[in-house]
Amino acid sequence: MLNFIKNLVELYENPHNKTVYKRKVEKMSDSLEKNIIYIKKEFDGSADLTIRQMKINETSMAIITIEGMINKQIFANSVLTPIVNCDFINKNSVEKYEYIRDHLLSTTEQVQVVTYDEVFSFIMSGFAVIAIDGCNCMLAIGVQGFNFRSVSEPTSEVMQRGSREGFVEPLRINMTLIRRRIKNPKLKFEMLKSGSVSNTDICLCYLTDIVSGEILQKIRSKLHKIDLGTILASGYVSPYLEEENDISFFSSVGMSERPDTVCGKIAEGRVAILIDGTPNVLIVPHLFIENFQNMDDYTTRPYFATLTRWLKYVAFFVATLLPGIYVATVTFNPELLPRELLVKIANSVASTPFPLVLETLIIHFIYEIMREAGLRLPKPLGHAVSIVGGLVIGDAAVSAGLIGAPTLMIVALTAISSYVIPNLYEPIAILRFIFIIIGGIMGVWGITLLFSIVLINICAKTNYGIPFSAPMSPFSAFGMRDVVVRMGWKTLAKKQNAVQTMPGSNINVNKE
């Protein structure tokens, strides 16, 4: 109710914003029959709508639920039994309603609803709604019992030493996963709804004493501009959180399935955006360097964490640039190659029918097909894919002279390197193709110029007033303690900066 009023106020204050969705603000009638007819009409005979009508001392009552969404045992024990066994003598409808609301039920969560929109929202969230004839309000009771996936380790972010919990689909469970880790009353969850058709719950999560009010306001404003009908995944929302007119391969919206990672980001003044129905939580503002940081860096010893950090940096350049540089040097600048390597590559190029640039593009394309197939295939068939990929495409193609062994080596190395930084797989995959094409057209010059373009693109990005390339550029020597090396926790703990204090940032730290 409170959120709804807030949204109405925002709409009034910002009339130029697009309407988020058309909400039904129609208030309900005090006639139970009219209410039931209205609800049934809205659901148009949907099979999962359950309305159980009964009488309590001659007063008609209805319990409205969605099939499969409530826990029937809790509902029977905590709601139905007390109502049935209660004596409502000398009470009118309103008094009966008030008695049920204030004295009778043994549930922990109940909300009074006055509009049909709210009724729909609650019953579709697993609540049971009690309607009494003669009352123009209803009581929504929290007896959720729908099935959901159990909390398990996320497959996309496997850590050696971090927790084994990952986010799940229901928003409320995810909120508890965060709350359990940050036991601080300053941790605030702010609920919104988005999607004109799906009415998806979105929750902003932040620490009120660290987060910047300016950033928060911008996020709210961007979320209110979402004009989608359905929101079924976090990927639907993330483009709306980026800066306008920002064309880049790199996203300035972070994503994670891990509660520990999200909590770490929240503690740095970032805002986590939880979306009901998806385990991926969005985090803003997100900086480029964060793609190379993960939980394991902070749980292992500093020297090893530094090594793995540098492995990731090298892997990023290898995955992005190596095929392009290979094509460019072999085609245009073979003098840059050592003699022994040049001989091997020359033999390989001589024995294959395609130009090197085409050969490299083809093999990368085939690799992407295999990767995509491997993702979609059922597990029992996974072995078949690896056999096809490894033996047939790899070995047989080389033996047949269709592709060269050095090219295959390059592709293999590139592929492995790109998995070291899974967050950047998408931009790396695309940039790799572009670098190959440019390397094949213009050689080392082209590679260098394209690299400069990508660099400018990264440096030109800002998100919520913070430069995307901070703290590397604008340079902060202090920030290097978690970029160039990973200092020990005793050093990191000495001074913890919020994200809005990054160099080059033009926002102020502001309490919510």
Partner 1 sequence: MKKLSFSFIIVFSILLSGCTGGKQLHERLIVQGLGVDKENNLYNVTVQFLTADNSGEEMGENYETISLKGDSIIDAISKVSNITGKEPMYSQNLILILGEEVARDGISKVIDFFIRHYECRPTVTVFIAKENASKILTLEGANGIITADKISEMSNAQRLNSNIIFSNVLDVVNCLYNNISDPKIACINIDNGDLVIADSTAVFNEDKLSGFLAEDLSRGVLLVSDSVLGGTEVIDIKGLGKVTFNLTDSKSKVNFQNNYGTPCFNINVNVKSNIYEINKDVNSLFSDNYIATMEAELKNRLESLIYNAIRESIFNYKSDVFNFGKIIKRDDKEFFKNIKSLKEVLMKSDYNINVDVKVKKMGQERIKLVQNIN
Partner 2 sequence: MTKRQITVGQLFATLFISRMITNITYSSTISSSNSIWDQIISSGVAFILTFFMIIPVYLICNKRESMNIADMSYFLIGKIGIIFVFIYAVYYIFICIYSLSLFNNFVTNVMDPNISIILMSIAVMITASYAAFKGIEALVRASGFILFLIILAGIFIIISLFPQINALNYEPLMYDGNQDVVKGVILMLSTTSCIPAMAMLIPLAKGKVKKGIVLWNVAIYASIAVFIFAIVGTLGDYVKTQLFPVYTASMIAGIGFLKNLDSLYLGIWTTGLFIKVSLFLLLFSMCIKRVFGDLAGRISIFIGAFFVVVISVLANSTQYFNGYIYNINFLFGFTLLTSIIIPLILLIVDFIKSRRRKESEKVKL
Query: Contact positions toward partner 1, by CB under 8 A?
Result: 330-332, 334-335, 339, 342-343, 345-347, 349-352, 355-358, 361, 399-401, 437, 440-443
Binding of partner 2 at residue 504 (CB under 8 A)? yes
- Is the separation of the CB atoms in 219 and 204 below 8 Å? yes
Considering the complex, what minimum distance in angstroms separates the CB of residue 388 from partner 2?
Answer: 38
Closer by beta carbon to partner 2, 391 or else 449: 449
Considering the complex, what minimum distance in angstroms separates the CB of residue 247 from partner 1?
Answer: 12
Binding of partner 2 at residue 449 (CB under 8 A)? yes
Considering the complex, what minimum distance in angstroms separates the CB of residue 225 from partner 1?
Answer: 23
Considering the complex, what minimum distance in angstroms separates the CB of residue 433 from partner 1?
Answer: 9
Closer by beta carbon to partner 1, 341 or else 456: 341
- Is the separation of the CB atoms in 219 and 271 below 8 Å? yes
Binding of partner 2 at residue 480 (CB under 8 A)? no
Report helix, strand or coil for 287.
Answer: coil
Closer by beta carbon to partner 2, 135 or else 438: 438
Calculate the alpha carbon distances from 301 to 254, 261, 307, 310, 490 in Å.
25, 18, 10, 14, 12
Binding of partner 2 at residue 122 (CB under 8 A)? no
Binding of partner 2 at residue 127 (CB under 8 A)? no
Q: Determine if residue 126 is left, alpha or beta; phi over 0 gives left, psi from -120 to 50 gives alpha, anything else beta.
A: left
Binding of partner 2 at residue 335 (CB under 8 A)? yes
Binding of partner 2 at residue 343 (CB under 8 A)? no
Q: Which part of the chain contacts partner 2 (CB under 8 A), choosing from 199-207, 216-224, 300-308, 455-463?
A: 455-463
Considering the complex, what minimum distance in angstroms separates the CB of residue 445 from partner 1?
Answer: 9
Distance CA 291, CA 298 (A): 14
Q: Which of residues 264-303 bind partner 2 (CB under 8 A)?
A: none
- Is the separation of the CB atoms in 257 and 162 below 8 Å? no
Closer by beta carbon to partner 2, 105 or else 321: 321
Binding of partner 2 at residue 445 (CB under 8 A)? yes
Closer by beta carbon to partner 2, 128 or else 321: 321
Considering the complex, what minimum distance in angstroms separates the CB of residue 472 from partner 2?
Answer: 7
Closer by beta carbon to partner 1, 390 or else 401: 401
Tell whether omega for the bond before 82 is within 30 degrees of 0, i.e. cis.
Answer: no
When binding is defined by CB under 8 A, the residue of 440, 446, 465, 479 that contacts partner 2 is 446
Closer by beta carbon to partner 2, 184 or else 506: 506
Give phi and psi for 197, each to the nearest 5: -100, -45
Binding of partner 2 at residue 478 (CB under 8 A)? no
Distance CA 322, CA 507 (A): 38
- Is the separation of the CB atoms in 106 and 82 below 8 Å? yes
Token pair of 188, please?
Answer: 């605030």
Cα-to-chain-centroid distance, residue 475:
29
Q: What is the DSSP string of 19-44?
A: P------PBPPS-HHHHHHHHHHHHT
Considering the complex, what minimum distance in angstroms separates the CB of residue 404 from partner 1?
Answer: 9
Give which of partner 2, partner 1, none residue 147 binds (C-beta under 5 to 8 Å, depending on kind): none
Stated as kind and residue range, the H or E segment containing 70 is none
- Is the separation of the CB atoms in 105 and 79 below 8 Å? yes
Shortest CA distance to 501 belongs to which of 283, 269, 272, 242? 269
Considering the complex, what minimum distance in angstroms separates the CB of residue 429 from partner 1?
Answer: 15
Binding of partner 2 at residue 244 (CB under 8 A)? no
Considering the complex, what minimum distance in angstroms separates the CB of residue 332 from partner 1?
Answer: 5
What beta strand segments (E) does 37-126 contain?
49-56, 59-66, 110-113
**How does DSSP classify residue 352?**
S
Buried b (16+ CB within 10 A) or exposed e, 470-495: bbbeeebeebebbbebbbeeeeeeee
Binding map of partner 2 across residues 39-58, x = CB under 8 A, - = no contact: --------------------
Length of the chain counted residue by residue: 512
Closer by beta carbon to partner 1, 104 or else 362: 362
Token pair of 68, please?
Answer: 């499969």
Q: Which part of the chain contacts partner 2 (CB under 8 A), choosing from 84-92, 101-109, 169-177, 327-335?
A: 327-335
Closer by beta carbon to partner 1, 273 or else 328: 328
Give which of partner 1, partner 2, none residue 440 binds (C-beta under 5 to 8 Å, depending on kind): partner 1
When binding is defined by CB under 8 A, the residue of 17, 176, 351, 448 that contacts partner 2 is 448
Q: Which of residues 405-444 bind partner 2 (CB under 8 A)?
A: 442-444
Q: Which part of the chain contacts partner 2 (CB under 8 A), choosing from 140-148, 159-167, 411-419, 450-458?
A: 450-458
Three-state SS string over 163-214 comes to: CCCCCCCCHHHHHHHHHCCCCCCCEEEEEEEECCCCCEEEEEEEECCCCCHH
Distance CA 301, CA 320 (A): 29
Closer by beta carbon to partner 2, 111 or else 442: 442
Binding positions for partner 2, rule: CB under 8 A: 332-333, 335-336, 338, 442-446, 448-453, 455-457, 459-460, 467, 469, 472-475, 504
